[in-house]
Amino acid sequence: MHNIFVYCEIDEGQVADVSLELLTKGRKLANELGCKLEAAVIGHNLKGIEKEIYPYGVDTLHVADDKRLAPYTTLPHAHLVVNLFEKIKPEVALFGATSVGRDLAPRVASKMRCGLTADCTSLVIGDHKDNKSGKEYKSLLYQIRPAFGGNIIATIINPETRPQMATVREGVMKREIFDKTHKGSLKTIKAADLLTDDLFPVQILERHMEKKKINIKASPIIVSGGYGVGSKENFELLNELAEVLGGEVGASRAAVDAGYADHERQVGQTGVTVRPKLYIACGISGAVQHTAGMSESAKIIAINNDPGAPINQIADYSIIGNIEDIIPKMIKFYKKNTK
Amino acid sequence: MSFRIIVLAKQVPDTRNVGKDAMKADGTVNRGALEAIFNPEDLHALEQALLIKEERKDAEVILLTMGPPRAAEIIREALYRGADKGYLITDRKFAGSDTLATSYVLSMAVKKLAPFHLVIAGRQAIDGDTAQVGPQVAEKLALPQVTYTEKFTEIKDEEVTIQRRLERGVETVSTPLPALVTVHSSAAQCRPRNARLLMKFKHARTISELQEETKDYTEMLNNKPYLQIDEWGVSDIDAGEEQLGLSGSPTKVKKIENVVFAAKESIVLSSEDNDIDRLMKELIDSHVVG
């Protein structure tokens, strides 16, 4: 069995969150398949980077360090990744669905002539039987993603080609340290020998990057609170639920005005408009100024002690009761059902 | 030699306006119920090409689309806005192509139009949102790629300078030509149809469309050959059949689940353990939470 591979992206000198999330997922898949987890970091000034990566359970880390490799440009990174794939022949290869990953992964997949699925929301191991040929495939990667503007969920497989490639957005998978003391082995990619001048047609002339901000718009899950949450302490419960589910916290204007949350988290006409796949509205009555910013969410859960609150009319599920009771239970049963 | 720009575009179902009848009872997409539109980011791509044409008298804008016969509609839309010519790549054998097979077909068609300076495409199409076809076409043609283009800041004969829109910032890059560029939705909106061009091209037709017409176009086409939209199949682009359609597609769809609800019904739950347990199970099983 060949291994699981994760391309680790570097963001402001550190391994990007999305890459750590993928390593967490990759480690679980490797355990399930009984194979190893490999990763690559390609960039410059990477000394000591393995210390950030090993705790996530990486067995072999490939490092290419060269000043021409940062900031990222497509061709040299693609060349090194393809070269590595031809050597280590991974079973599965995961990339972040970022500006970099979505530029790099298709170029690599085209060169390898293998299948790639973008923006997966779930990755599961499963078998497959081809109805036409009757051929059976063991332990394929099911790449599950929304398609058609989020109106369908498709399960994609790559039965014949390797690696089975997928990209995943930041915040979709959970990030979890595997073992603080875990040590892998470091392999140096001899970048200077592999990089040729023709890989650098694109020159970066200028770059303006902003510091990382809270961006609740990009979050697939939003746990949002209104004035009905009642206190800053109760808002802490929303943070806990958001963290467990891998989402962000949002707020109504009334909650922001009451000082429960920062303005940058405000959803609605005077805040941001969001379309997550799950919106959990806690203690929000559902005034139009708020619902205008969230009514296109794919699924809405309203938690409210008022059965007549307008939010219940647009919710898929209305839970009637107090958030102090309900949120801890949601956390408990989420953990129980995901084990 | 003209400064040739090839715009890659796709006709897509308008997934932003999905109605109740968008899904069939068996859970498959009812394409007939969705309006077919010019993929929004491909319109941004067309606009970038037209802006270059305003700047350079020698620029020639060619629209290339792969799709069923009706995709000729977006070629006419491009002609109404200022494109010089369009090609429809259509063949039953293309059916079932994933992004890899699609990029193979497009790259073979682009080769037929060589020599060219720029290939410009939208970043992604709204029916799949993969953003894969652009970079994959670039790889197949061994071209440099510049994704997420917001604007061209300089156009020279052998080099362009481009401002890119990244997740958390902007980057300005230069690339030698020829190159492939994908355009981000933050780029300039496409201009509307031009009334004069609309009159000129409203009778532009592909061969397949002419076979459906009751009116006789023979004389019109003899007088105005620009009304003939070229249609290319597998053999016209010298494509290898094993690399296209289902056989050229490494990804297979194993399962499709419908998440459109015919009528939104609200389920009322209590704060009792069994209600919350059931809810969390449902959310996990339907992949809403992972």
Q: What is the 3-state secondary structure (H, E, C) of chain A?
A: CCCEEEEECEECCEECHHHHHHHHHHHHHHHHHCCCEEEEEEECCCCCCHHHHHHHCCCEEEEEECHHHCCCCHHHHHHHHHHHHHHHCCCEEEEECCCCHHHHHHHHHHHHCCCEECCCCEEEEEEEECCCCCCEEEEEEEEEEEECCCCEEEEEECCCCCCEEEEECCCCCCCCCCCCCCCCEEEECCHHHHCCHHHCCCEEEEEEECCCCCCHHHCCEEEEECHHHCCHHHHHHHHHHHHHHCCEEEECHHHHHCCCCCHHHEECCCCECCCCCEEEEECCCCCHHHHCCCCCCCCEEEEECCCCCCHHHHCCEEEECCHHHHHHHHHHHHHHHHC
Q: Is B273 on the interface with A (CB under 8 A)?
A: yes
Report how far residue B152's alpha carbon sits from residue B160's, in angstroms, rounded to the nearest whole number: 7
Position A12 scores a pLDDT of: 82
Report how far residue A23's alpha carbon sits from residue A6's, in angstroms, rounded to the nearest whole number: 6
Report how far residue B280's alpha carbon sits from residue A330's, in angstroms, rounded to the nearest whole number: 7
Which residues, other chains included, contact A245 with Cβ-Cβ below 8 Å and sequence gap of 6+? A221, A223, A278, A334, B289
**Which residues form the domain of A313?**
216-338
**CATH number of residue A321's parent domain:** 3.40.50.1220
Q: Is B262 on the interface with A (CB under 8 A)?
A: no
Position B256 scores a pLDDT of: 86
Copy the structure tokens of residue A146.
């929304």
Predicted TM-score (pTM) of the model is 0.82
Report how far residue B148's alpha carbon sits from residue A308's, in angstroms, rounded to the nearest whole number: 46
Q: Is A128 on the interface with B (CB under 8 A)?
A: yes
Report how far residue B225's alpha carbon sits from residue A101's, in angstroms, rounded to the nearest whole number: 45
- Domain boundary at A136, A168, A199, which? A199
Q: Is A243 on the interface with B (CB under 8 A)?
A: no
In 3D space, the residue among A62, A31, A314, A9 whose CA is nearest the CA of residue A185 turns out to be: A62
Report how far residue B87's alpha carbon sits from residue B113's, in angstroms, rounded to the nearest whole number: 10
> Within a domain: residue A95?
yes
Among the partner residues B148, B174, B286, nearest to A203 by beta-carbon distance? B174
Position A171 scores a pLDDT of: 74
Confidence of residue A177 (pLDDT cuts 50, 70, 90): very high
Give the count of domains, chain A. Answer: 2
Window 93-122 of B, Cβ < 8 Å to A: 98-100, 103
Among the partner residues B281, B283, B290, nearest to A173 by beta-carbon distance? B290
Q: Is B249 on the interface with A (CB under 8 A)?
A: yes
Position B263 scores a pLDDT of: 39
**Domain identity same for A85 and A143:** yes
10-residue mean pLDDT series, chain B (290 residues): 96 76 63 86 98 96 97 98 98 95 98 98 92 98 98 97 92 98 95 98 94 87 94 97 95 82 68 92 86
Copy the structure tokens of residue A197.
């001048």
Stretch A212-241: mean pLDDT: 89
Distance from CA of B191 to the nearest CA of A (A): 25
**Domain identity same for A333 and A299:** yes
Q: Is A208 on the interface with B (CB under 8 A)?
A: yes
Distances (CA, A) of A26 to A36, A58, A96, A146: 9, 9, 12, 21
Among the partner residues B16, B173, B271, nearest to A326 by beta-carbon distance? B271
Position B264 scores a pLDDT of: 54
In 3D space, the residue among A164, A320, A286 whose CA is nearest the CA of residue B250 turns out to be: A164
Distance from CA of B40 to the nearest CA of A (A): 13
Position B26 scores a pLDDT of: 58
Position A274 scores a pLDDT of: 87
Position B261 scores a pLDDT of: 41
Position B29 scores a pLDDT of: 64
Position B23 scores a pLDDT of: 63
Which residues, other chains included, contact B140 with Cβ-Cβ below 8 Å and sequence gap of 6+? A110, B103, B104, B107
**Domain identity same for A141 and A183:** yes
**Domain identity same for A195 and A220:** no
Q: Is B276 on the interface with A (CB under 8 A)?
A: yes
Which residues, other chains included, contact B214 with Cβ-Cβ below 8 Å and sequence gap of 6+? none
Provide the ipTM.
0.89
**Domain identity same for A24 and A130:** yes
Distance from CA of B266 to the nearest CA of A (A): 5
> Within a domain: residue A105?
yes
Window 140-169 of B, Cβ < 8 Å to A: 140, 144-148, 161, 166-169
Cβ-based burial of B30 (10 A; exposed 0-12, middle 13-18, buried ≥19): middle
Q: How many CB pairs under 8 A join A and B?
A: 248
- The pLDDT of residue A185 is above 80: yes
Interchain pair A246, B268: CB under 8 A: no
Report how far residue B227's alpha carbon sits from residue A167's, in angstroms, rounded to the nearest whole number: 43
A22 with A102: CB under 8 angstroms? no
**Domain identity same for A294 and A195:** no
> Within a domain: residue A207?
no
Mutation to test the A interface, candidates B152, B280, B282, B284, most A Cβ within 10 Å: B280
Distance from CA of A186 to the nearest CA of B (A): 30
Cβ count near B285 (within 10 Å): 10
Copy the structure tokens of residue A198.
């023709």
Could you read off the pLDDT of B217-272 as tens digits, one per residue? Answer: 888 889 999 999 999 999 999 999 999 999 999 999 999 887 644 335 678 999 99
Position B24 scores a pLDDT of: 64
> Within a domain: residue A273?
yes
**Domain identity same for A26 and A99:** yes
- Which chain B residues touch A149 with a CB distance below 8 Å? 15-16, 18, 126-127, 129
> Within a domain: residue A312?
yes
**Domain identity same for A37 and A163:** yes
Amino acid (one-letter) located at B44: H
B266 with B118: CB under 8 angstroms? no
Q: Is B274 on the interface with A (CB under 8 A)?
A: no
B5 with B120: CB under 8 angstroms? yes
Stretch A257-273: mean pLDDT: 84
Residue with tokens 């297979």, as numbered in its chain? B252
**Domain identity same for A185 and A279:** no
Copy the structure tokens of residue B211.
């076979």
Supply φ then ψ for residue B66, to 5 degrees.
-110, 135
**Domain identity same for A183 and A286:** no
Among the partner residues A117, A151, A209, nearest to B169 by beta-carbon distance? A209
Could you read off the pLDDT of A98-144 as tens digits, one per residue? Answer: 999 999 999 999 999 999 999 998 999 999 999 889 999 999 999 99
Could you read off the pLDDT of A52-106 as tens digits, one per residue? Answer: 999 999 999 999 999 999 999 999 999 999 999 999 999 999 999 999 999 999 9
**Domain identity same for A173 and A230:** no
Q: Is A147 on the interface with B (CB under 8 A)?
A: yes
> Within a domain: residue A94?
yes
Planar angle of CA A327, B288, B125, nearest 5 degrees: 140
Window 38-97 of B, Cβ < 8 Å to A: none
A170 with A17: CB under 8 angstroms? yes
Kindly list the structural domains of chain B, giving each domain's residue range(s) and its CATH number in brackets, ordered by start: 3-248 (3.40.50.620)
Interchain pair B135, A106: CB under 8 A: yes
Interchain pair A319, B283: CB under 8 A: no
**Domain identity same for A256 and A176:** no
Cβ count near B260 (within 10 Å): 18
Window 3-62 of A, Cβ < 8 Å to B: none
Conformational region of residue B99, where left means phi above 0, alpha means psi within -120 to 50, and beta covers everything else: alpha
> What would the 3-class secondary structure string for chain B be?
CCEEEEEEECEEECHHHCCHHHECCCCCECHHHCCEEECHHHHHHHHHHHHHHHHCCCEEEEEEEECCHHHHHHHHHHHHHCCCEEEEECCHHHCCCCHHHHHHHHHHHHHHCCCCCEEEEECCCCCCCCCCHHHHHHHHCCCCEEEEEEEEEEECCCEEEEEEEECCEEEEEEEECCEEEEECCCCCCCCCCCHHHHHHHCCCEEHHHHHHCCCCCHHHHHHCHHHEEEEECCHHHCCCHHHCCHHHCCCEEEEEEECCCCCCCCEEECCCHHHHHHHHHHHHHCCCCC
Q: Is A121 on the interface with B (CB under 8 A)?
A: yes
The nearest alpha carbon in chain A to B167 belongs to A99
Distance from CA of B233 to the nearest CA of A (A): 22
> Within a domain: residue A269?
yes
> Within a domain: residue A227?
yes
Interchain pair B268, A312: CB under 8 A: yes
Planar angle of CA A88, A93, A95, nearest 5 degrees: 130
Position B262 scores a pLDDT of: 39
Interchain pair B255, A210: CB under 8 A: no
Q: Is A312 on the interface with B (CB under 8 A)?
A: yes
**CATH number of residue A141's parent domain:** 3.40.50.620
